[in-house]
Amino acid sequence: MEVDKIYPPCQKCSKGVLIPLSDYGREGATIIFKAWVCTNPECCYSLRIDNGEVSIGKVSNHSLK
């Protein structure tokens, strides 16, 4: 499977692609595409969606340093 042709390219590093992560809602329903993470470990660009609000970079900030 050619991942880079399925998922959108990372706009930050232009090397990795953004892959979707799923999560589960309060009622057990699967939330598809809850968050997107860059596949480039040097980039760690992340984007997540909480209650309709988009947050950028909050996921990876904790793991730096």
Contact footprint for Zn ion (CB under 5 A) = 10, 12-13, 16, 38, 40, 43, 45
User: Which residue from 44, 45, 46, 23 is spatially nearest to 33, judged by alpha carbons?
Assistant: 23
Q: How far is the CB of 9 from Zn ion (least distance, A)?
A: 8
The residue type found at 52 is: G
To Zn ion, the closest distance from the beta carbon of 41 in angstroms equals: 9
Contacts within 8 Å (CB) and 24+ apart, 48-52: none
Q: Which is nearer to Zn ion, 34 or 39 (CB)?
A: 39
Residue 40 vs 60, nearer CB to Zn ion = 40
